[in-house]
Structure formats: C-alpha cells, structure tokens
Amino acid sequence: MEKKKTIITYIILGILIIGVIALGVTYAYWILTRKQEGTNIVKTTCLNVTIEEEQDNILLERAQPILDEEGLKLKPFKFKVKNNCEDYAEYTINLEMLSETNLKSEFVKIALNEKGDKGVPTNLKEYEEYKDLKISGTKEGRTLKTSKLKPSEEKEYELRIWIDEDVTIEDDTMNKTYKSKIIVEIKNTDKPYTESILNGTDPVLDGRLIPITINEENGQVTRADETKKWYSYAEQKWANAVILRNGVEDPGPNEPIEESDIESYFVWIPRYRYEIFTTEADMNTGTVSDKTKIINIEFENKDEAVKSGTKMGQWLTHPAFTSFNTNGIWVGKFETGYDGAESAITAQVNPANEAAAIEAANKVIIKPNVYSWREIQVAKAYTVGRHYEATLNSHMMKNTEWGAIAYLSQSVYGSHQSVRINNSSSYLTGYAAKNEPTTGYTGTNELCSAHQEACNEYGGATPGSDGEYNTNYFNKESVAASTTNNYTGVYDMSGGAWEYVMASIDDNSTGDGKTGKLSVGRNNIYNSGFNGKLTCPECNDDGVDHNITKLTNRINLPRDERFYDKYDYSTSNTTYNLGILGDATKEMGPFQSIVYGTQSRYVSSWYDDESSFVNSYSPWFERGGAYHSGSAGGVFAFGRDNGRVAGALGFRLVLAF
C-alpha cells in the first residue's frame, strides 16, 4: 500500500509577552493572542484534519503564574482529527516554537486532552523534542501526542497553555515572548491486528512504547509487526511493549531487540467488567475455606455504558479503568528497579526531597534480573512515578490497578491458578521459586526436600543466574511466576519485595472518617513523606515522643484523585468491609488468623494469601508479599505499613492514557 502523508501546519495558538509591573515585588504576565479567522480544512483522498476555531482561542488578560487547577479551567483551543477512509491512520500532534520565542519551555505548562477527558498539566520541556521541524525558522519542536485513528473515527482535542505556577521573579522570564503553532501530521497505515474478543480494548501504543513478542523458550524479545498477530488474550498471551533506552532507535517490525537496549517492559491490561463473585457475608472475618474460582470477565470499551453493580451476580466495570476513562492500562511487567544498582543494598534509595525524586525518575528501570528499588518513602515513589513518563500519565500503581491485574489473571484469560512466588532474597526481579511453598512465613528457611508438607524455602542469586532455590527470568521455568503461566504475563506479583501502592486511609480530621484527605502516616518518624495529617501520632513503639499531628515542608499530596485510592478511616486491621470492589481485598474473604510455626498471620480464602487491612497505625497498603512470605505471599496478598522507608518495600509503575 502506498503511504500517504499530510502535514497540517500553521495554526497559531498564542503569543505570551511577559512584562513587569513596578509594584514592589509584585509582577504580572501579559498574554496576547492572534485570532484565527475561519475554519482550516486540509484533505487528502481519504484523510482530513479539521481545525475549528472559537473566538480568541487562548486568551488570558493580565495573566500571571497560576496553579494547575486554574490552568485547567482556561478556555481551550479546540481542534479535530478525523479519518474518512477505510484504512487506519496514524497521526502526531506537535508544537513548534517560532523564532520570536525567547521564553524557555521550562516556564510553560500545557494540558492536551481529548474532549471529555481531564487534561494532565505537564511542563512543556517534559515532552520529547524533535529536530525535523516543519515550519521554516522555528527553533524548537515538541511532540505532544502520537496515536491512531480507526476508519471513520474522529477525535476532538482541547489545548490549554499557561505560565507554570512555580515561576518566580528571580527566573529569567521578564519581557520574554512565547509564540507557537500546532502541527498535525497524519498518514495512512496498514490496519493493525485486533482481537475480536477484546471488543475494541486492544492495546494503545503512544510515544515511546514499542510493541514486542517474547520467545516462548528463552524470553528473548522481537519487535512486533502490529499488522500481524502479536497477542491473544483468548490464548492467555497478553500484549507486551517496551520503552527503549535513550538514543536507541526502533529497529522496525520483526527485528530482534537486545536486552541491553531495553529500559522498561510493560503489559497491557484491557478494560473489562467483571461479575461480582462474593457475598457480603464473606467480606469479613470467619473461617477460611477454599473460595477460589474463575472470575467472569467481559471486555468493555470506554464508549459502552459503565456497569455499576454492587452485589454478588451483578456486573461492575472495573474501577481501574474508569478513573482515567481508558480502554486499558500499561502496567510494569516487573517491580521497579534502580538503574545501575550492582547489589540489593545499592538499590535502596530514598531521594532527599521532591527535587531529588524528580531527578531520580531517570533511574527507573523495569526489567528482569535487576535489583528491585526499595527503601523509598511513598511520597518519593509517587514523585518518581509521575515524572517517569509524564505525558503518558505514568504513576505509582494504585490498589485498584493491582486488583485489575489479579482478577484478569484469575479469569480464563490468565493462568487462573496460584502464581509462584519470587523467593529471591537478593531482591532480583523476574525470579521464580523452584518449588511451590506449602506454608506461610515461619521465620526460618524451611526446605521442601526436608518436609514438603510445610516448606518455605528462599535464597539469593546473582543477576541472570539460577539460585539454589530459584530460577531466573530467562530460564523457561520462571513462567510459573507469571500471571499467565507464560512469558507474556506480569511478574513479581507474588513475593520479591512487598510493593507499596498509592492507597491510604482517610485522615479522619473531622472525626467522621470521611474528610477526603489521605492519611500521610503514623507519626513524624513513620510516615510517607507527604504533607498532611498523621493518624496515630501517639502510637509509639520505640519509647520516643512522636506526638506531632501534621507534617509540613515535605511533598504535597496529589490533588488529582485519579492517581490514588482512598479508604475510610479505621483503627482495626480487619475492617475488610471497607475495601473497594475490584481491588482484590474484601472480595477474597472470609479471613482468619493462622499460625505458621510461631508466626500469626491473617489470611484470605484465596490461596491462603496474607490479608492485613490498613488502619490508623499503618495506613498505607502494600501488595504481593516478600520473598520469604511462602504461601502467604501471592497476587491476592495485601498488607499495611506507614509509608516509611523499609528494606522489604518497593513499588510498581503504570501508564494510563
């Protein structure tokens, strides 16, 4: 097929002229906008892009640096991209800064979103820069979005621009000009492979994500041909993609990708609804019995009516997808690693402050056989996640997103069986125990060769080599630790390190348990590093007075509710009824306290996975278990901590766009 390409150019967005008003240290910004007259339409034989104006597309009078939430309320510039042919089309939305611009990108905030979705404020410099400028005389180009259109599909976008709230009078911004134009580039593409059973929730690729296939014998990666079958959820083969290291070019379809060229692996979790499978009576303590079953799932695209069931037998659209209104999410295939770490100890990094955490985002690596990034406060992990791939809505995994993986794994589209534990005491990602543990954590290494009926063995290894009790990712036997029982699934969901998720209880500052604000931790020593109220400052276990009720001068809690899950305030670790449907907590009941050796643990009726609910003493959720958790670790395991740094606690990332 002959490829046709059209470049749509010269849509003037606005001119920002910055000046000073001499009122002490008070100053203001002026933004002038050129109005576009008429409607611009550029056509090829079957493609067109329509730019529709609304008078004075972007107009801020007497403007100054503003908060992101104020920027999102600005009147947007709107334009449409429409595909009028029978083939798929690929398009790129770029922004080019004209030669008159002398205001640095770092001082400009933008939000680009599809109509109906909420824009994500992003610093312009965080978008990928490109050199193939389309407008003569332009000095800088940034790619805002790359996506595809189905035949006859139309998308409408809204763009808002403002001055970053962090700009101060000390910054080099006075009497500067910012002038830019939008460029839309669109071309025909061959129709990508889709799977009918997914009902339109096929994987969405954008920006740096490269689709891959994985060799079933050795885990080696090949760049997928998107027009050919490269995934099949009907066959428990989930779609995988990678982000390549900076400077590594996309090798093109069917070409091998060297492991050293890969920065991160991601797995696509398609949007679905599920049939609620637990009675309200079982969502509490009682007597543990085997309640495991295949969870009924139907894939549901975002254009369908949301299902809102609340009781057994009713259907519920999984909440992991409704918060971002996406057709799916890309989840980190492995626990997040620390790039360059040469030991488990050197992968324990807690950045000093928010600025250091933002800088540390470039140390993210999501690969097998690397050391898991641990001993990091929740606030720092959240900041790292948000700045990893901000334009793709990268973020620290939420509890509901963990649940979405767990339920898909337990459906006919996943392994629907116990996922083998990663029992690497070296905290290496992608490892699998050689033997299935038969008991939970006992405090000792219980060898299966000695007593199979009550074994829980674990041990270390060197990266890429099998250990005495475990196998590395590139050994085919590691697929026992995958959510699909093959190489396409998600790893480290059982064991490895406990993983903090972005989920905490209400801070209960009004006493009703529902203030709308997250608890930031237990006390001024054991906390997440966020600013906010502590839920148990009087809870001391070290003889030191920690009675400070609120943290300040740390990192602000996120304002955007899409990036966290909040639970009602509680003082008990067994208030399972406060769980969220779909998060793989309360639906795993009944729950019971079980003693392993001298260790007592609450476990669920699903694979005897550990089940300790968040409370005022330890308000932050952790998932999956640690390398020594034995049968108590698993996809459905959940525990609690206070958001602190801890050697056994890591985190995982998600992309949602």
Q: Does 51 have pLDDT greater than 70? A: no
Structure tokens at 100: 């008159």
Burial letters for 515-548: b for 16+ Cβ neighbours within 10 Å, e otherwise?
A: bebbbbbbbbbbbbbbebbbbbbebeeeeeebee
| CA–CA gap between residue 479 and residue 485 (Å, rounded) | 5
| Single pTM value for the model | 0.82
* Position 48 confidence tier, pLDDT thresholds 50, 70, 90: low
| Predicted local confidence at residue 174, as pLDDT | 65
| Predicted local confidence at residue 512, as pLDDT | 67
| CA–CA gap between residue 309 and residue 264 (Å, rounded) | 36
| Predicted local confidence at residue 78, as pLDDT | 86
What's the Rg (C-alpha) of the chain?
25
| CA–CA gap between residue 634 and residue 415 (Å, rounded) | 13
Beta strands in 545-619 (DSSP E): 550-551, 565-567, 592-596, 599-603
Q: Which DSSP symbol is given to 6?
A: E
Structure tokens at 451: 């007593």
Number of H helices, E strands in the chain: 5, 36
Query: Tens of pLDDT along 421-441?
Result: 999 999 999 999 999 999 999
Beta strands in 115-167 (DSSP E): 122-123, 128-130, 140-149, 154-163
* Position 179 confidence tier, pLDDT thresholds 50, 70, 90: confident
| Predicted local confidence at residue 511, as pLDDT | 67
Domains and CATH numbers, the chain: 5-189 (2.60.120), 271-324+352-657 (no CATH)
Q: Does 15 have pLDDT greater than 60? A: no
* Position 132 confidence tier, pLDDT thresholds 50, 70, 90: confident
Asked if residues 580 and 614 have their Cβ atoms less than 8 Å apart, the reply is: no
| Predicted local confidence at residue 507, as pLDDT | 93
Query: Tens of pLDDT along 68-110?
Result: 988 898 888 888 888 877 777 888 899 888 887 777 888 889 9
